[in-house]
Amino acid sequence: MSTARVGVVGCGVISRVYQRVLQWFPDVQVVACTDLDPAAAKAFAQADSTGRTRVLGFDELLEDHVVDVVLNLTVPLAHAGVTRAALSAGKAVYSEKPLATAREDGAELVRLAAERGLLLGCAPDTFLGAGLQTCRRALDEGLIGEPVGAVAFVAHHGPEEWHPNPGFFYEPGAGPLFDMGPYYITAIVALLGPVASVSGLARVSSAERLIRAGSRSGEVLKVTTPTHVTGTLELASGVPVTFLASFDVWAGHLPRFEIYGTEGALSVPDPNTFGGPVELWDAGTRKWHTLELVNAYTENSRGIGLADLAGARSNGRAPRASGVLAFHVLDVMVALLEAGEERSVVKVASSADRPAPLPGGLARGQVD
């Protein structure tokens, strides 16, 4: 297996998680980084215990023949532009979510990658963690019978409660739908298959938000994207999924994600995490059972999707956290906003196959 040499674009907080996790995989090496803030790039490079990471300018990184894969960790509004430039430079790309903030940009990126014969991957990769992979096995083995419905809820009172720089969360391309929705909608597709149509409502519940954390505490933010989105996703299989993404909920007792079947029910762990627990209610015993997790990825493993892309690059297979999957998720999110505006059912034109499950019993540092 050839080594994937990675250039990181964007050295913010999440980059350190990737830096730590990618060290688990012997066939992935971070060799370069860049950031609009030179100090952030320098700090990222200095944190590399191997000493391989060089600080480069953005154009230098794209032109560097040593870099095979660009890891795009910029803010959401910059994702499409950075990924487009990297693909145009002949680099494979793995991007943080969302793939883009506009449907047409996402479609262009998938098309450009295909035309150039380059791999395109995108977070979230949490569906590759032990928790959701255990759920995938339970569904594939028919432990709850045929799925008949599901619910998925992500609801809290917004990142201004804890994030030191939360402004971008309330701009177009973010909000609860684009910030947290990718975790949940990706998990829905990975477990149950693609979405055929959506209906929904969306609203801005308050025009302003007060920052309550960090050095900007007390500053008022203008809200320019919906903060409460609710809808129904009709899957291609016919299964209906009730979905909620909100920054307007102080507290509640909602389940995060549950799948209901003809022979039982599955309590799915938080799709923003990698571990468990996974609980199965069996119609035969009329009891809840905790399932044994199927792989070692139980802690924060952001970056396993990039490692899987590296494996796909070596083995000639499709990456599991693919650009096609990420575009379908983007298409669903845009359709939800359109449904809210139009008060109608919106068909989702794109589709994506369920990604292949990871082999069972994987140790940390393995994807194949």
Show Cβ contacts of residue 356 under 8 Å, excluding neighbours closer than 6 positions: 317, 318, 320
State whether 138 and 283 are in the same domain: yes
**From edge to edge, which strands make up the β-sheet containing 264-267?**
287-290, 279-282, 264-267, 257-261, 147-155, 240-246, 228-235, 195-203, 346-347
Whether residues 206 and 105 fall in one domain:
no
Tokens of 19: 């830096």
Q: For residue 353, is it within any domain?
A: no
Domain assignment present for residue 351? The answer is no
Total count of domains within the chain = 2
Model confidence pTM above 0.75: yes
CATH number at residue 113: 3.40.50.720
For residue 179, give the CATH number of its domain: 3.30.360.10
Residues in the chain, total: 368
Q: Residues 257, 139: one domain? A: yes
Q: Are both 306 and 234 inside the same structural domain? A: no
Residue 253 and residue 138 share a domain:
yes
Same domain, 235 and 268: yes
- Co-location of 197 and 144 in the same domain: yes
Domain presence at residue 48: yes
Quote the pLDDT of residue 90.
98
Residue 20 is assigned to a structural domain of this protein: yes
pLDDT by residue for the chain (368 residues), tens only, comes to 689 999 999 999 999 999 999 999 999 999 999 999 999 999 999 999 999 999 999 999 999 999 999 999 999 999 999 999 999 999 999 999 999 999 999 999 999 999 999 999 999 999 999 999 999 999 999 999 999 999 999 999 999 998 888 988 999 889 999 999 999 999 999 999 999 999 999 999 999 999 998 889 999 999 999 999 999 999 999 999 999 999 999 999 999 999 999 999 999 999 999 999 999 999 999 999 999 999 999 999 999 999 999 999 999 999 999 999 999 999 999 999 999 999 999 999 999 999 999 999 999 999 99
- Compute the distance between CA of residue 172 and CA of residue 101 in angstroms, rounded to an integer: 8
Residue 137 domain flag: yes
Q: Is residue 296 part of a domain?
A: no
Instruction: Give the integer Cα–Cα distance in Å for 216 and 226.
Output: 23
Are 35 and 64 within one domain?
yes
Mark whether 166 and 114 lie in a shared domain.
no
User: Which pair of structure tokens corresponds to residue 354?
Assistant: 């369920």
* Per-residue model confidence (pLDDT) at position 165: 83
Angle between helices 175-192 and 323-342 (to 10 degrees): 120
- Based on the fold, state whether residues 85 and 173 are members of the same structural domain: no
Task: State which residues form the domain around 92.
Answer: 4-126+301-321
Is position 349 within any domain? no
**Does residue 32 sit in the same domain as residue 160?**
no
